[in-house]
């Protein structure tokens, strides 16, 4: 059984030495100095670290903390599936230092008060940082827009995830608000390719910021490529399960695609057409799954699943970091995601030489629903650091 420590040690003036520093722009052996929760210095090789607590990483990789644009924490209303304490600990163990939580809860998160409450409750736990996504329509319907001005004081992200937006009038109104107020709308499109094509037409007429969730199909990627070529303001994510699996009937929405779909998703991750990797961590109880609920619980191993695919396809670690950190940080507008002076000192420490078998008994999440138990994966998150504080370490001996 692994040793788990969720600590809140006041170590924010600290130097991490003897690391492989990897982000979207760099990959070299070096050291990093943190003061006051921010990156102070990034150096090749060793560096003098006078007066600082020193953590020798013995060659492990230090990456910007992973930022998950899309997860389900189930609060309020479904704490039998997940709660902030379990979900954000599982995220932290999996290397995610910031998590954005979807609004398809019971009731939906669609008011400024509900967004503010979740942000406060989740962040008071000192686990992974939390950003609540608001519904874009009241009660997740495509009828009445939420009060984006008021809610926008508490979150830059809006989505009716899980439910397609069919009403053109509603979508146009939402895009006009996005254009005026600057927020990002994340779209769950169903049926995926057709709905994406329709939404892009509306984007070209209205402007605004459009992001497509969990892309799983080759055809969707062709459509998004065309829109990007035309200069539309569109981004998209995929989830680790669409990179890793194909021809698998496990209940998840969108369903896992064909072999050709998977190859297209991997190719688009390599080329940059897909901007980000988000977990779509979707915890459900065994009973819910037996009743046909869609979703995969994935915080604990999502990084390893993606990394395994990147290794097998010789896609660089810098590209992996860009998709897990730099891109989501930019989309949300966070001072995070790169190893550069002045940025928040949120890091994931990774052992790329570790290999392991996914075992649901090791999950910290409340829910164990996954088709990947027993899979042999590569690369493991060893430590998670937020603002220079070590919030989780898998193995105490490392310090």
Site string for ligand DOR, 177-196 (x = CB under 6 A): -----------x--------
> Contact at 8 Å (CB) between 217 and 227?
no
281 is a site residue for ligand DOR (CB under 6 A): no
φ, ψ dihedrals at 353, nearest 5°: -85, -10
Regarding 188 and contact with Zn ion (CB under 5 A), the answer is yes
User: Which residue in 280, 300, 346, 351 is the catalytic one?
Assistant: 280
Closest CA to 265 of 215, 192, 229, 323: 215
Q: Which is nearer to ligand DOR, 101 or 388 (CB)?
A: 101
Q: How many residues of this chain bind ligand DOR (CB under 6 A)?
A: 10
Binder among 119, 253, 318, 360 for ligand DOR (CB under 6 A): 253
Q: Which residue has the tokens 């020798």?
A: 56
Q: Are 359 and 365 in contact (CB under 8 A)?
A: no
Asked whether the CA dihedral 88, 93, 98, 103 is positive or negative, the reply is: negative
Q: Which stretch binds Zn ion (CB under 5 A): 118-126, 136-144, 160-168, 351-359?
A: 160-168
For CA atoms 164, 94, 335, 225, the dihedral sign is negative
Q: Does 87 bind ligand DOR (CB under 6 A)?
A: no
CB atoms within 10 A of CB 374: 10
Is residue 168 within the footprint of ligand DOR (CB under 6 A)? no
Residue 161 or 322 having the CB closest to ligand DOR: 161
Q: Is 378 in the site for Zn ion (CB under 5 A)?
A: no
Helix (H, G, I), strand (E, B) or coil at 176: helix
Residue 262 in contact with ligand DOR, rule: CB under 6 A: no
Phi, psi for residue 65 in degrees, rounded to 5:
-55, 145
One residue of 30, 49, 72, 306 binding ligand DOR per CB under 6 A: 72
- Does 13 participate in catalysis according to the annotation? no
**294 binds ligand DOR, rule: CB under 6 A:** yes
Can you give the length of the chain in residues?
Answer: 399
Distance of CA 320 to the CA centre of its chain: 12
Considering all CA atoms of the chain, what is the largest pairwise distance in Å, rounded to the nearest integer? 61
Residue 42, interface with ligand DOR (CB under 6 A)?
Answer: no
Residue 307 lies near ligand DOR (rule: CB under 6 A): no
Q: Which residues sit at the interface with ligand DOR, rule CB under 6 A?
A: 72, 104, 161-162, 188, 252-253, 282, 294-295
Residues lying near Zn ion in the complex (CB under 5 A): 161, 188, 213
Catalytic residue IDs: 280
């Amino acid at each position: 059984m692994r040793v788990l420590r969720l600590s809140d040690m006041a170590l924010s003036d600290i130097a991490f030495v003897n690391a492989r520093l990897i982000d979207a722009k760099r990959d070299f052996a070096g050291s990093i100095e943190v003061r006051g929760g921010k990156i102070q210095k990034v150096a090749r090789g060793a560096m003098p670290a006078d007066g600082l607590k020193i953590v020798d990483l013995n060659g492990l990789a230090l990456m910007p903390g992973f930022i998950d644009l899309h997860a389900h924490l189930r609060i309020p209303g479904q704490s039998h599936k997940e709660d902030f304490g379990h979900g954000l600990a599982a995220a932290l163990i999996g290397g995610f230092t910031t998590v954005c939580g979807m609004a398809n809860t019971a009731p939906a998160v669609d008011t400024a008060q509900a967004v503010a409450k979740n942000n406060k409750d989740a962040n008071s736990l000192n686990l992974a940082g939390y950003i609540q996504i608001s519904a874009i329509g009241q009660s997740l319907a495509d009828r009445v827009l939420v009060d984006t001005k008021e809610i926008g004081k508490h979150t830059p992200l809006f989505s009716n995830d899980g439910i397609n937006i069919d009403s053109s009038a509603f979508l146009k109104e939402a895009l006009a608000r996005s254009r005026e107020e600057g927020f990002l709308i994340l779209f769950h499109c169903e049926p995926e390719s057709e709905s994406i094509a329709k939404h892009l037409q509306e984007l070209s007429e209205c402007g605004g910021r459009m992001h497509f969730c969990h892309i799983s199909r080759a055809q969707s990627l062709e459509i998004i490529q065309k829109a990007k070529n035309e200069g539309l303001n569109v981004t998209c994510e995929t989830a680790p399960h669409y990179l890793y699996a194909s021809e698998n009937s496990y209940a998840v929405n969108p369903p896992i695609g064909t072999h050709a779909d998977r190859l297209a998703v991997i190719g688009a991750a390599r080329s940059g057409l897909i901007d980000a990797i988000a977990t779509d961590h979707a915890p459900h109880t065994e009973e819910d799954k037996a009743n046909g609920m869609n979703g995969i619980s994935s915080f604990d191993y999502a990084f390893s699943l993606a990394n395994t695919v990147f290794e097998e396809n010789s896609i660089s670690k810098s590209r992996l970091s860009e998709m897990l950190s730099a891109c989501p940080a930019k989309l949300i507008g966070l001072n995070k995601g790169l190893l550069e002076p002045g940025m928040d000192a949120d890091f994931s420490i990774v052992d790329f030489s570790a290999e392991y078998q996914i075992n649901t008994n090791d999950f910290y999440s409340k829910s164990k629903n996954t088709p990947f138990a027993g899979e042999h994966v590569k690369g493991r998150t060893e430590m998670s650091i937020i603002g220079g504080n070590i919030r989780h370490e898998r193995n105490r001996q490392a310090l």
